Amino acid sequence: MRNLLAAVVMALVLVACSKSEKAKTGELSVVSADGNKVEYKVELAQTEEEMSKGLMFRDALDEKSGMLFALWKIGEESAMWMKNTKIPLDMLFVDKDGMVYWIYENAEPNSEKLIVAPYAPYAVLEVNAGDVKKYGIKIGDNVKYSWFEGEKTQAVEEEPADVQQVDTVAEPAAVEKVGEATNTVEAAPQSLD
Protein backbone atom coordinates (compact mmCIF):
# COMPACT_ATOMS: atom_id res chain seq x y z
CA MET A 1 0.00 0.00 0.00
CA ARG A 2 2.82 2.36 0.89
CA ASN A 3 4.45 1.80 -2.54
CA LEU A 4 1.17 2.53 -4.29
CA LEU A 5 0.75 5.78 -2.36
CA ALA A 6 4.36 6.79 -3.18
CA ALA A 7 3.75 6.06 -6.88
CA VAL A 8 0.57 8.17 -6.92
CA VAL A 9 2.31 11.10 -5.18
CA MET A 10 5.24 10.87 -7.61
CA ALA A 11 2.87 10.86 -10.60
CA LEU A 12 1.03 13.94 -9.26
CA VAL A 13 4.34 15.78 -8.75
CA LEU A 14 5.45 14.96 -12.31
CA VAL A 15 2.14 16.15 -13.77
CA ALA A 16 2.30 19.38 -11.74
CA CYS A 17 5.89 20.04 -12.85
CA SER A 18 5.14 19.37 -16.49
CA LYS A 19 2.17 21.76 -16.42
CA SER A 20 4.11 24.55 -14.72
CA GLU A 21 7.03 24.25 -17.12
CA LYS A 22 4.88 24.24 -20.25
CA ALA A 23 5.75 27.35 -22.23
CA LYS A 24 3.12 29.73 -23.52
CA THR A 25 2.90 29.58 -27.28
CA GLY A 26 1.50 31.65 -30.08
CA GLU A 27 1.40 31.93 -33.83
CA LEU A 28 2.85 34.85 -35.73
CA SER A 29 3.79 35.74 -39.26
CA VAL A 30 6.63 37.64 -40.85
CA VAL A 31 5.28 39.64 -43.79
CA SER A 32 7.37 41.31 -46.49
CA ALA A 33 6.50 44.50 -48.38
CA ASP A 34 5.49 42.43 -51.42
CA GLY A 35 3.06 40.36 -49.34
CA ASN A 36 5.10 37.18 -48.87
CA LYS A 37 4.21 35.67 -45.52
CA VAL A 38 6.00 33.09 -43.35
CA GLU A 39 3.99 31.58 -40.48
CA TYR A 40 5.77 30.54 -37.27
CA LYS A 41 4.64 28.74 -34.14
CA VAL A 42 6.56 30.35 -31.29
CA GLU A 43 7.16 29.96 -27.60
CA LEU A 44 6.78 33.22 -25.71
CA ALA A 45 9.60 34.29 -23.39
CA GLN A 46 7.95 36.90 -21.17
CA THR A 47 9.56 36.62 -17.74
CA GLU A 48 13.20 37.29 -16.88
CA GLU A 49 13.63 33.57 -16.16
CA GLU A 50 12.14 32.54 -19.52
CA MET A 51 14.25 35.12 -21.35
CA SER A 52 17.43 34.04 -19.55
CA LYS A 53 16.87 30.39 -20.48
CA GLY A 54 15.63 31.02 -24.02
CA LEU A 55 16.32 28.04 -26.28
CA MET A 56 19.19 26.69 -24.15
CA PHE A 57 19.83 22.95 -23.91
CA ARG A 58 17.62 22.05 -26.89
CA ASP A 59 18.85 19.55 -29.44
CA ALA A 60 16.57 20.78 -32.23
CA LEU A 61 13.93 23.34 -33.18
CA ASP A 62 11.00 22.27 -35.35
CA GLU A 63 10.70 23.81 -38.81
CA LYS A 64 8.86 27.16 -38.78
CA SER A 65 9.18 27.34 -34.99
CA GLY A 66 10.96 29.81 -32.78
CA MET A 67 10.93 31.88 -29.63
CA LEU A 68 9.68 35.45 -29.27
CA PHE A 69 11.35 37.44 -26.47
CA ALA A 70 9.34 40.25 -24.83
CA LEU A 71 12.36 42.45 -24.14
CA TRP A 72 10.31 45.59 -23.49
CA LYS A 73 9.16 43.97 -20.23
CA ILE A 74 12.63 44.19 -18.67
CA GLY A 75 12.85 47.89 -19.51
CA GLU A 76 16.56 48.15 -20.22
CA GLU A 77 19.05 47.59 -23.00
CA SER A 78 19.84 43.97 -23.53
CA ALA A 79 22.12 41.70 -25.50
CA MET A 80 21.52 38.21 -26.84
CA TRP A 81 23.97 35.33 -26.68
CA MET A 82 24.14 31.62 -27.45
CA LYS A 83 25.54 30.25 -24.17
CA ASN A 84 24.32 26.65 -23.72
CA THR A 85 22.29 26.90 -26.93
CA LYS A 86 23.09 23.83 -29.00
CA ILE A 87 21.41 24.88 -32.26
CA PRO A 88 22.42 27.71 -34.62
CA LEU A 89 19.83 30.49 -34.87
CA ASP A 90 18.85 33.53 -36.91
CA MET A 91 17.73 36.48 -34.76
CA LEU A 92 15.27 39.13 -35.92
CA PHE A 93 15.39 42.34 -33.88
CA VAL A 94 11.98 44.01 -33.90
CA ASP A 95 10.82 47.51 -32.97
CA LYS A 96 7.57 48.35 -31.13
CA ASP A 97 5.60 48.55 -34.39
CA GLY A 98 6.67 45.03 -35.40
CA MET A 99 9.23 46.10 -38.00
CA VAL A 100 12.38 43.99 -38.34
CA TYR A 101 15.15 46.60 -38.08
CA TRP A 102 18.22 44.36 -37.68
CA ILE A 103 19.04 40.72 -38.40
CA TYR A 104 21.79 38.53 -37.02
CA GLU A 105 22.20 35.33 -39.05
CA ASN A 106 23.72 31.99 -38.10
CA ALA A 107 24.49 32.72 -34.45
CA GLU A 108 27.13 30.22 -33.36
CA PRO A 109 25.98 27.52 -30.91
CA ASN A 110 27.37 27.73 -27.36
CA SER A 111 29.05 31.09 -28.02
CA GLU A 112 29.27 33.65 -25.22
CA LYS A 113 29.80 36.47 -27.71
CA LEU A 114 27.30 39.26 -27.05
CA ILE A 115 24.96 40.06 -29.93
CA VAL A 116 24.01 43.72 -29.60
CA ALA A 117 21.62 45.50 -31.97
CA PRO A 118 22.19 49.15 -32.97
CA TYR A 119 19.47 50.16 -30.50
CA ALA A 120 17.43 48.35 -27.86
CA PRO A 121 14.86 46.02 -29.42
CA TYR A 122 11.25 45.84 -28.34
CA ALA A 123 11.35 42.10 -29.06
CA VAL A 124 13.59 39.48 -30.65
CA LEU A 125 12.39 36.52 -32.71
CA GLU A 126 14.78 33.55 -32.77
CA VAL A 127 14.29 31.00 -35.57
CA ASN A 128 16.33 28.21 -37.12
CA ALA A 129 19.57 29.34 -38.76
CA GLY A 130 19.05 29.64 -42.49
CA ASP A 131 15.40 30.73 -42.27
CA VAL A 132 16.30 34.33 -43.15
CA LYS A 133 17.78 33.21 -46.47
CA LYS A 134 15.35 30.35 -47.05
CA TYR A 135 12.25 32.54 -46.71
CA GLY A 136 13.76 35.82 -47.94
CA ILE A 137 13.26 37.62 -44.62
CA LYS A 138 14.83 41.07 -44.65
CA ILE A 139 15.07 44.35 -42.82
CA GLY A 140 11.80 46.26 -43.17
CA ASP A 141 9.61 43.12 -43.00
CA ASN A 142 6.88 43.15 -40.34
CA VAL A 143 6.22 40.67 -37.58
CA LYS A 144 2.46 40.32 -37.11
CA TYR A 145 1.59 39.42 -33.54
CA SER A 146 -0.69 40.94 -30.91
CA TRP A 147 2.24 42.41 -28.96
CA PHE A 148 2.94 44.77 -31.83
CA GLU A 149 -0.53 45.47 -33.22
CA GLY A 150 -1.91 46.28 -29.75
CA GLU A 151 0.98 48.63 -29.00
CA LYS A 152 0.46 50.49 -32.28
CA THR A 153 -3.29 50.91 -31.67
CA GLN A 154 -2.76 51.99 -28.07
CA ALA A 155 -0.14 54.61 -29.04
CA VAL A 156 -2.48 56.20 -31.59
CA GLU A 157 -5.40 56.29 -29.12
CA GLU A 158 -3.27 58.02 -26.46
CA GLU A 159 -2.23 60.96 -28.67
CA PRO A 160 -3.74 64.32 -27.72
CA ALA A 161 -6.49 65.44 -30.11
CA ASP A 162 -4.70 68.70 -31.02
CA VAL A 163 -1.54 66.92 -32.25
CA GLN A 164 -1.45 66.00 -35.91
CA GLN A 165 -0.08 62.49 -36.51
CA VAL A 166 2.82 62.40 -38.96
CA ASP A 167 4.14 59.11 -40.28
CA THR A 168 7.92 59.09 -40.34
CA VAL A 169 9.15 56.20 -42.41
CA ALA A 170 12.71 55.91 -43.64
CA GLU A 171 13.28 55.37 -47.32
CA PRO A 172 13.45 51.59 -47.91
CA ALA A 173 16.85 51.88 -49.61
CA ALA A 174 18.24 53.71 -46.57
CA VAL A 175 16.87 51.13 -44.15
CA GLU A 176 18.28 48.28 -46.23
CA LYS A 177 21.67 50.02 -46.46
CA VAL A 178 21.80 50.51 -42.68
CA GLY A 179 20.92 46.85 -42.22
CA GLU A 180 23.61 45.66 -44.61
CA ALA A 181 26.25 47.81 -42.97
CA THR A 182 25.23 46.80 -39.47
CA ASN A 183 24.99 43.13 -40.34
CA THR A 184 28.61 43.01 -41.45
CA VAL A 185 29.99 44.48 -38.24
CA GLU A 186 30.63 42.14 -35.33
CA ALA A 187 29.18 43.51 -32.09
CA ALA A 188 31.84 43.93 -29.43
CA PRO A 189 31.03 43.42 -25.74
CA GLN A 190 30.09 46.71 -24.15
CA SER A 191 31.92 47.93 -21.06
CA LEU A 192 29.68 48.72 -18.11
CA ASP A 193 32.06 51.42 -16.75
Instruction: Note whether residue 191 is domain-resident.
Output: no
Residue 61 Cα to chain centre, angstroms: 14
CATH number at residue 41: 2.60.120.1140
Distance CA 53, CA 50 (A): 5
Instruction: Note whether residue 16 is domain-resident.
Output: no
Q: Which amino acid is at 142?
A: N
Which domain covers residue 33, as residue numbers? 24-184
Per-residue model confidence as pLDDT tens digits over 85-129: 999 999 999 999 999 999 999 999 999 999 999 999 999 999 999
Count of the separate structural domains present in the chain: 1
Angle at 85 between CA 110 and CA 119, to 5 degrees: 85
Under the banding of pLDDT at 50, 70 and 90, the label for residue 74 is confident
Burial of 182 (0-12, 13-18, 19+ CB in 10 A): middle
Distance CA 94, CA 160 (A): 26
Instruction: Note whether residue 1 is domain-resident.
Output: no
Question: For residues 64 and 74, which has the higher predicted lDDT (pLDDT)?
Answer: 64
Instruction: Note whether residue 126 is domain-resident.
Output: yes
Instruction: Note whether residue 17 is domain-resident.
Output: no
Instruction: Note whether residue 151 is domain-resident.
Output: yes
Per-residue model confidence as pLDDT tens digits over 127-156: 999 999 999 999 999 999 999 964 443 333
- In 3-state terms, what secondary structure has residue 21? coil
pTM score of the predicted model: 0.68
Instruction: Note whether residue 105 is domain-resident.
Output: yes
